[in-house]
């Protein structure tokens, strides 16, 4: 699944509170607000994120880079403001799927994205029921679950609001001739009269940090999400799967007996399961990074048959003889260091399994205890 995050706004209403960074990068519990959104998307199966950036975009690009927790990050840059519709339209040129999730970069809304994507509608809007509000407009929903009207901001005792998450058929944007337009005004509030626009109510937690009062509230609420996590690190070849010479084809994947069940135990115990693997075949030109990512997607799909899953794959594509030295090739600790930072891990609560001494050494350099597994017979 793919998602576009609208992260290019100026954040005018927050400017006297957070003035030196884009609004999605406003600090909450010592980390950017945008990081909570990306964490949530990763947990829910998003594989590629396009960040629509503009104002102080270098702050976002320098912080997150080209990937985060195994998700591929791309950047659609607005040199001049394109408004929400124009930003989405431009970002869609970097997407491959027919329908894509759109997420506001200043809003956290806990929504079951997989369930939301099951709708046949070309446009699905996540909505949240609130009581006694006047900051948001109201969304009206028919008995059949489709949107049949909008009302501008005014005091409301109870009603649904637009939660800022959409699942949209890209053709709705590509049909627009304009390059600068509002998604809400030119798409959402017009097309519901022409085609069915589904509402997806969610009772999940919702907060929009667009005003100082809610920004301060977020800093309190998100404290529980800032606790350190624990992880079980696994080498890949010879540990999870039978070591095939430069494995990169899905049809050559063969799990070591009992390993899917072993991974599931760590899932059930509340550990993040993270793979750290040297992949010198990329540097040697035997296969590409894209082929490696596809293999990992296939591996996770196969693990699901056992009720198991891997939360993230980190791989080193280098080899000193072909691409020069690096800090990520085991026994160097770069991959584990990155996972610790991205998943907020406590090394003392983590464990590592590998089949070679350099696997164990890589973990030890970060304070992660390792266990050398016997070679499969």
Residues designated as active site: 235, 237
Structure tokens at 61: 């690009």
Instruction: Please write down the long-range contacts of 169-174, taking CB distance under 8 Å and 24 or more positions apart.
Output: 169/98, 169/99, 169/122, 169/123, 170/92, 170/95, 170/97, 170/98, 170/99, 170/100, 171/122, 172/122, 172/123, 173/85, 173/88, 173/89, 173/92, 174/89, 174/92
**At 289, is the secondary structure helix, strand, or coil?**
helix
In this structure, are strands 107-109 and 206-208 parallel, antiparallel, or unpaired? antiparallel
**Neighbouring residues of 36: CB distance < 8 A, sequence distance ≥ 6:** 28, 108, 222, 225
Closest by CA position to 30, among listed 223, 214, 217: 223
Instruction: Classify residue 1 as exposed, middle or buried by CB count within 10 Å of its CB (0-12, 13-18, 19+).
Output: middle
Structure tokens at 328: 């990520």
Structure tokens at 54: 């503009």
Could you tell me if 237 and 299 are in contact, meaning their C-beta atoms sit under 8 angstroms apart? Answer: no
357-364 and 334-342 are packed helices; what angle lies between their axes, rounded to 10 degrees?
50
What single DSSP character describes residue 186? I
Could you tell me if 280 and 318 are in contact, meaning their C-beta atoms sit under 8 angstroms apart? Answer: yes
């Amino acid at each position: 699944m793919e998602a576009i995050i609208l992260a290019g706004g100026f954040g005018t209403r927050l400017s006297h509170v957070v003035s030196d960074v884009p609004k999605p990068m406003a600090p909450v519990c010592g980390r950017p607000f945008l990081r909570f959104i990306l964490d949530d998307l990763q947990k829910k199966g998003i594989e590629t994120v396009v960040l629509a950036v503009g104002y102080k975009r270098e702050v976002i690009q320098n912080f997150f880079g080209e990937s985060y927790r195994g998700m591929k990050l791309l950047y659609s840059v607005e040199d001049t403001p394109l408004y929400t519709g124009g930003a989405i339209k431009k970002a869609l040129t970097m997407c491959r799927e027919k329908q894509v999730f759109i997420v506001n970069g200043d809003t956290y809304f806990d929504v079951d994205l997989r369930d939301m994507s099951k709708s046949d509608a070309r446009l699905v809007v996540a909505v949240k029921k609130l009581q006694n509000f006047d900051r948001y407009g109201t969304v009206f929903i028919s008995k059949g679950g489709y949107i049949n009207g909008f009302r501008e901001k005014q005091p409301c005792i109870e009603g649904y609001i637009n939660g800022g998450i959409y699942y949209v058929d890209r053709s709705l944007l590509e049909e627009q001739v304009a390059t600068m337009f509002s998604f809400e005004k030119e798409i959402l509030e017009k097309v519901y009269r022409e085609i069915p626009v589904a509402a997806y109510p969610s009772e999940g937690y919702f907060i929009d940090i667009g005003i100082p009062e809610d920004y301060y509230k977020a800093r309190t609420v998100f404290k529980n999400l800032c606790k350190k996590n624990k992880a079980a690190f696994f080498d890949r070849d010879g540990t999870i799967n039978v070591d095939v010479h430069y494995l990169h084809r899905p049809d050559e994947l063969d799990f070591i007996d009992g390993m899917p069940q072993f991974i599931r135990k760590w899932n059930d115990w509340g550990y993040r399961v993270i793979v750290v693997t040297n992949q010198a075949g990329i540097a040697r030109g035997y296969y590409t990074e894209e082929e490696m990512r596809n293999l990992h997607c296939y591996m996770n799909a196969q693990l699901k048959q056992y009720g198991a899953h891997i939360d993230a794959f980190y791989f080193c594509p280098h080899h000193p003889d072909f691409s020069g030295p690096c800090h990520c090739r085991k026994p160097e600790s770069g991959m584990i260091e990155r996972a610790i930072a991205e998943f907020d891990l406590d090394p003392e609560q983590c464990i590592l399994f590998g089949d070679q001494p350099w696997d164990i050494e890589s973990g030890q350099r970060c304070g992660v205890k390792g266990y050398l597994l016997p070679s499969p017979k």
